[in-house]
Structure 1
Amino acid sequence: MVILLKVPPKSMFKFMCVSKPWRRPISSRKLVKAHLKLTANDKESSHHRVIFQDSTGNFKVSRLPPLFQRGQKTELFDMGSPMENPTIYTRIVGSVNGLICLYSNLEEPVLWNPTIRKSKILPTFGAKLRRDCSYYLNYGFGYDESHDDYKVVAIQCISDDGGSYDTVVNIYSLRNNSWRTIDKFQGNFLVNSSGKFVDGKLYWALSADVDTFNMCNIISLDLANETWRRLELPRYGEGSYPLTLGVVGSDLSVLCPNCHEVTNSDVWIMKDCGAKVSWTKNFTIDHPKDLGEFIFFSPIFSVPSCQSSKGEILFLLPPVIMIYDSSTRQLEVAVPSEECFAAEIYVESLVDPVLIAHNH
């Protein structure tokens, strides 16, 4: 057991293909979780990867550490796509424990582990989802540790001919391999299309007006007890601006532009202490004016970020990967790409979505 824990995930997967006596212990829940804990906490990030989506909907993968090494060419490896008909409209919802959640307007959502090349197509919503009259559809993906279950949340805002809207929230359990409807949140409209997963909860930004991206507060969904909570924004100044949710390290963050020039932006970090939430302005990023509102708040923008040992932070700002240097407060291009429409950081793991659903 101890020796197996030190074997890289891809090699472990090859061992599983040798025979059934090899497959059983390697695919056991206990070993998979222990192996994941070691790889996820690897200080050198040698098992962390960045996955990029190109203009055809297919994916390329790079090791994470080389992105922080200036002047070194980043190698990209083709990964294809688990979708039957990948297009640019295929979206990355998020990544947890090596699983990546994808959705498309044309197909059902998919849970995919690119390390072991296993994917699970989620069952259809059935009558619960009214695709013909949806005003918008937002997803979230996270892990419920208390039930050892991976969950996908689909939030649909439904419009009628009278101009009013209703919200339906469906949640999928991988362990039960089924969807069900849960209580919805009260009022307002979601801004970011994909919820940000932090410490057992999914977070979305809320806007008071469906036609703007100006945030008024944040809501969270606890995946364990499936309850909603409304959170206040950081006190970042007068006026209302389009803000962006992200994750820095293991904390929820908010990116706030300063003034109308938008030549720098503040990054606020949230600490959730149970009944009380506190915000701290962590750092300010100086950036050219043309990197302002258009890039920072476009629908494809995401802020999954990873911090290096030198205090540098990686931002995925399609179509480029940028590094924030805390000593200079500047953004630098790390990986220029004309075909990077989405990106996500994930950790290599042995988590098999097909096996989890099958063993129920």
Structure 2
Amino acid sequence: MAAYLPLELITEILTKLPVKSLHRFKCVSKSWNSIITSSKFIKQHLHQTLISNTNTNIMISTNYIVSSAISTVKFRFEIVNHPLDHLPNRSPGTITGSVHGVFLLIDSSTKTLCLFNPSNKTQRLIPPSPSRKPAVVFKLVEVFGFGYDGITDDYKVVRLAEWEIFGYFDRESSVYSMRNDSWESVNDETVSYTLQEFNGVAVDSTFWFVMSSSNSDSMLKCFDLRTSTFSLVDFPDLDNDIGEVMVSLRSLRGCLCLLVSYHKYRADPDNKFTGNPFYNHEFLYADVWEMNESKWVKLFKIRKNEIRKDCMYLRLVTYSKDMKSVLIEVDSNWYGWYDLVTKKFKRVPVQGLEAVEDSPYVAYPYVETLVSVVNNKVVSKKGGTRPKMIIKKNDFLSSGFKLKL
């Protein structure tokens, strides 16, 4: 006698499964396919994934996009099909942090923006942002942030741009709405600070950008997606007398985290490392701060002898599932887990990065989700966009197909 489970119980079980399994189970029956592809289930699965902190991975983009499940034993990276591969003269490209498993990919050479979910292979080309920037400028700084507005249930991209022309500076800000598939200019009434070339970090419904002033003071610019307003926030008290300071922003545990690295100048009398931006800055230690209820709280300190004697630069990646360790990217080339209790660092072997090991890279954590960003445009081989072709059943059957046994 066949046993039947209530539909509610089946749905509850499916929300706890990884994305790869769900893609296979869509073929079980029409009812299962209907459940898994429904917007309600996609949100339920996303919620379950976020609260359980499962299906976590890291992604790296240089000449390729590679991804690996997060592990304490070994990272095994595999190449992910790049959604902009068909663009002529495509640059290695950059990625911003993931929101609900979706990345913003930026191709600097073609000025192409693309939303991409590597878990379900959906993608969306973003139309160019309208701009009043002159055709020729002396210097242009353009940064982006990608996040989620929980009030309107909408994924948004924020673009900040500054340029200089004939000794005068100008700037503009705009927001792209995935729901509306359009850009909208936003007013920025904050005092003038120089925009740094770091893409924004999304935390909850806010973006954070690094700014600096003429007297070398640094601040953070915050953009609230819910109110479309900007504000400025001071950095925590830094040890400015130590030497050179380098900062790195990340969203960890749902909070804004700031890693402040302190360096001292290291002479290179033989000029052996000319052109290496890291060599002349010897790493001393780093403080990690967290923004908690609009206040900076120092979480921990990482000392040079706890990592490696010749390390030069650190970047936070993500916490372990038990929150007792943090994954650290060292010198943009290798990884290790730093135990917050024992203050010990353990390097993690890496497999599958041979194709990009000569280039520095930045790792971004993400979770596997079913969130779709698909639209009706695809990338053409000539670099433009065209409507996505819809094949009717009769057209498909008449065009013929190959069956592999």
TM-score relative to the length of structure 1: 0.83
Alignment of 1:112 onto 2:132: no
**Which residues of structure 1 form unaligned runs of 5+?**
297-301
1:183-194 superposed matches below 5 A: 183-184=187-188, 185-194=190-199
Instruction: Determine helix, strand or coil for the equivalent of 1:354.
Output: coil
**Residue 281 (structure 1) shift:** 1.2
**Residue 335 (structure 1) shift:** 4.3
Match of 2:276 in 1: none
1:225-304 superposed matches below 5 A: 225-239=227-241, 241-258=245-262, 260=264, 262-272=283-293, 277-287=294-304, 288=308, 290-292=310-312, 295-296=313-314, 303-304=316-317
**Residue 25 (structure 1) shift:** 3.6
Instruction: Determine helix, strand or coil for the equivalent of 1:353.
Output: coil
**Residue 183 (structure 1) shift:** 1.1
Contact 2:124 2:375 in 1 (8 A): no
Alignment of 1:27 onto 2:37: yes
For residues 215 and 268 of structure 1, what CA distance do their matches in structure 2 show?
A: 18
Instruction: Determine helix, strand or coil for the equivalent of 2:238.
Output: coil
Alignment of 1:350 onto 2:364: no
Amino-acid identity (%): 26
- The ranges of structure 1 where at least 4 consecutive aligned residues each deviate by more than 6 angstroms after the TM superposition are 17-21
The counterpart of 1:97, out of the listed 87, 96, 100, is: 100
Contact 1:198 1:252 in 2 (8 A): yes
The counterpart of 1:48, out of the listed 43, 51, 56, is: 56
Instruction: Determine helix, strand or coil for the equivalent of 2:96.
Output: strand
Contact 1:49 1:63 in 2 (8 A): yes
**Which residues of structure 2 form unaligned runs of 5+?**
1-10, 265-281, 378-386, 388-405
For residues 132 and 102 of structure 1, what CA distance do their matches in structure 2 show?
A: 25
For residues 259 and 146 of structure 1, what CA distance do their matches in structure 2 show?
A: 42
Give the aligned CA root-mean-square deviation in angstroms: 2.8
Deviations 1:286-319 (A, max 9, x none): 1256433xx34xxxxx534223426110123422
Q: Per the alignment, do residues 281 and 117 of structure 1 end up closer, same or farther by CA in structure 2, a change over 3 Å counting?
A: same
Contact 1:325 1:331 in 2 (8 A): yes
Alignment of 1:307 onto 2:320: yes
The counterpart of 1:60, out of the listed 40, 59, 66, is: 66
1:307 partner amino acid: S
Paired residues, number: 334
For residues 328 and 91 of structure 1, what CA distance do their matches in structure 2 show?
A: 35
2:75 partner amino acid: T
Match of 2:400 in 1: none
Q: Per the alignment, do residues 16 and 224 of structure 1 end up closer, same or farther by CA in structure 2, a change over 3 Å counting?
A: farther
Q: Per the alignment, do residues 158 and 192 of structure 1 end up closer, same or farther by CA in structure 2, a change over 3 Å counting?
A: closer
Q: Per the alignment, do residues 130 and 51 of structure 1 end up closer, same or farther by CA in structure 2, a change over 3 Å counting?
A: farther
Contact 2:123 2:375 in 1 (8 A): no
1:120-131 superposed matches below 5 A: 120-128=124-132
**Residue 159 (structure 1) shift:** 1.5
Match of 1:4 in 2: 14
1:77 partner amino acid: E
Q: Per the alignment, do residues 3 and 249 of structure 1 end up closer, same or farther by CA in structure 2, a change over 3 Å counting?
A: closer
The counterpart of 2:178, out of the listed 174, 178, 187, is: 174
Q: Per the alignment, do residues 327 and 4 of structure 1 end up closer, same or farther by CA in structure 2, a change over 3 Å counting?
A: closer
**Residue 20 (structure 1) shift:** 7.2
**Higher mean C-alpha deviation, range 80-89 or range 141-150:** 80-89
Contact 1:305 1:316 in 2 (8 A): no
1:180 partner amino acid: E
